[in-house]
Amino acid sequence: MFNKKNNKIKTESEYVGFAKLHTMKDDLSAENKKNREDINAEVKVEKNINVVGNSPFLNNTERVLDKKESNLDLQKETSGQDNRQFEVPKSSGFPQMPKQNQDSSFSNSNENIVSEDFTGKSEKKSFLAYVIIFIVILLLGAIGYYVWMAKGQKNMADFGSDASKDSSEESAIPSNENSNGNYSGAINDLSDNNEEFSEKVNFMIISKENLNQAGITKSIESKFIEMEKYSGNQLEFLIVDENNKPILFKDFIDSFKVTLDSGTMSGLSEDNFSLFLYKNKEIKRVGMVVGVKNRDALRKNLAANEVSLIDNMNSLFVYNKPDHSLNKKFNESEYDGNIIRYVNLNKNANLSLDYSIIGDYLIFATSKDSGRLIIDKLSDESEPRIDIFTPEN
C-alpha cells in the first residue's frame, strides 16, 4: 500500500529543479522578448505603409494620422502635461475614402440651380419681349389701317361734295328705288353755302315746329339773303325737315296757306314738288313745280277755278302783293311751244300769276321771266323728271 515506487514521491532535488523553472530572469527575458516583437510589428507596419505609399487611400490615411498626432501634441502642450511623446500607432484598418468638400459641392449645386433659374428667366424674358413686339406691330398695323381708311373716307366725302355740284337731281337722292321707279326714305342734305349753290337742285330745311306760314316765309327770305352772292337768277329747292326727310306737298301747302280745289289736288303728286326762287336786282319772286298724274283732267280743273286761283295762291307773293283793282282775267301766251295761262297783277307787269303744264309737271310762277326760266330748266333736262320722294309707311 505504501510502496515508494508506486507513490512516485518527488525528491527535494526534483522540487528544487522545478522551482528553477520560473525565475525573475525568466520574467525579464519574456518581457524583453514581447517588447522586441511589438517593435518589430510596428516596423513591419511602417514598412508595409511605405511600400504601398503610392495608394491614394493610404496617403490620405497617413495625412489623417499625422493630423491626429499633431492634434495630440497640441493638446499636451496646452494642458501643461509632460512633453512625453506618444506614438499613435498607425491604423492598419480599412482605408478611408477622401472627404469631399461639402461646401464646394453645395456651392456647385447652388451654382447649377442659379444657372438653371437664370436660364429659365432669360427664356421667359425673351418670350415676353417677342410677345410685346408682336403686339406693338399689330397696334401699329391697326393704327395705320385706321388712318388709311379715315383718309380714304375723307377723300371720298370730298369727291362726293365736288361731284354733287355737277351731278343730276337723282344723284343726290338715296338709291333705294321702289317698283314704281320712285325713291323713298330720307335724302342727303346738300349744304346751302352762302357762296355756292347747285344749278341742279338745292335743299331748304324747314323744321316741323316751323312748318307754318310764318316759318316757311322766313325760310324763303333767308334763302334770298344767301342768294345775294349768287351770280345767277333762279335756283330750285327741295323742301325737307330737320332730319332731311321730304315734306309732303299737301302738308306744305296747308302749312303755307295755299289752297287748291279737290279736283286739282287729285291730279297732282303727293310728294314730288319743289320751290323756285328768282331774283333780278330788287325783284324777288317765288314759283312752284308739282308732279302731274292726269294732265287732261288737271287742265280742265284749273281752267274752271281760275277766278279763285289768285286768292288761293296769295302766299306765293312774299315780297309784293297783287293789285286787286286790276283785271283778274287770265290770258294765254306761248313760249317755246308751250301754252301759258297768266294774269298781270301790277302795273309794271313784273308781278303776275302764270301756270302751265310742261310734260308731267305743273308750274306756278309769279312773274313772266321766272316762269320762262322754269320752262327752260325743265326743257334742258335730258331725262324726264320723276317722283323723287314717296311717303314712308
In a domain, residue 365? The reply is yes
In a domain, residue 26? The reply is no
One domain for residues 154 and 179: no
In a domain, residue 301? The reply is yes
Of these ranges, 169-173, 181-185, 360-364, the one predicted with the greatest mean pLDDT is 360-364
Residue 6 has pLDDT above 60, yes or no: no
pLDDT digits (tens, 9 = 90+) for 238-277: 999 999 999 999 999 999 999 999 989 999 999 899 999 9
Cell numbers for 33, please give them: 522578448
Strand partners, 235: 277
In a domain, residue 155? The reply is yes
Cell numbers for 121, please give them: 428667366
Burial class (CB in 10 A: 0-12, 13-18, 19+), 23: exposed
One domain for residues 175 and 260: yes
- As a whole number of angstroms, the distance between CA 387 and CA 23 comes to 162
One domain for residues 276 and 155: no
| DSSP assignment string, 175-239 | S-B-TTS-B-S--PPPP--SS---SS-EEEE--GGG-SHHHHHHHHHHHHHHGGG--SSEEEEEE
Q: Taken in order 120, 122, 128, 134, is the CA torsion positive or negative?
A: negative
pLDDT digits (tens, 9 = 90+) for 91-114: 444 455 555 454 445 455 555 555
In a domain, residue 268? The reply is yes
Letter for the amino acid at 371? Answer: G
Residue 206 has pLDDT above 60, yes or no: yes
Domain coverage including residue 152: 113-166
One domain for residues 122 and 173: no
How large a percentage of the chain has pLDDT more than 90?
A: 41
One domain for residues 162 and 186: no
Give the pLDDT score at 390: 39
Give the pLDDT score at 374: 96
Strand order in the sheet with 331-335: 202-205, 234-240, 268-280, 283-292, 361-365, 352-358, 338-344, 331-335
Region label for 351, one of left (φ > 0), alpha (ψ between -120 and 50) or beta (otherwise): beta
Average pLDDT for the chain:
73
Q: Compute φ and ψ for 230, nearest 5 degrees.
A: -85, 130
Of 70 and 24, the structure prediction assigns the larger pLDDT to: 24
pLDDT digits (tens, 9 = 90+) for 28-71: 666 666 666 665 665 454 445 444 444 444 444 444 445 445 55
Number of structural domains in the chain: 2
Give the pLDDT score at 196: 75
In a domain, residue 272? The reply is yes
One domain for residues 141 and 212: no
One domain for residues 159 and 187: no
One domain for residues 120 and 257: no
One domain for residues 338 and 210: yes
Cell numbers for 67, please give them: 493630423
In a domain, residue 160? The reply is yes
Give the pLDDT score at 127: 84
Confidence of residue 393 (pLDDT cuts 50, 70, 90): very low
In a domain, residue 105? The reply is no
- As a whole number of angstroms, the distance between CA 2 and CA 16 comes to 24
One domain for residues 333 and 199: yes
- As a whole number of angstroms, the distance between CA 237 and CA 281 comes to 20
One domain for residues 201 and 246: yes
Question: How many Cα atoms occupy the beta-carbon half-sphere of 385 within 13 Å?
Answer: 27
One domain for residues 317 and 243: yes
The CA angle 379-382-385, to the nearest 5 degrees, is 75
pLDDT digits (tens, 9 = 90+) for 302-361: 999 998 999 999 999 999 999 888 888 999 999 999 999 999 999 888 999 999 999 999
Give the pLDDT score at 32: 66
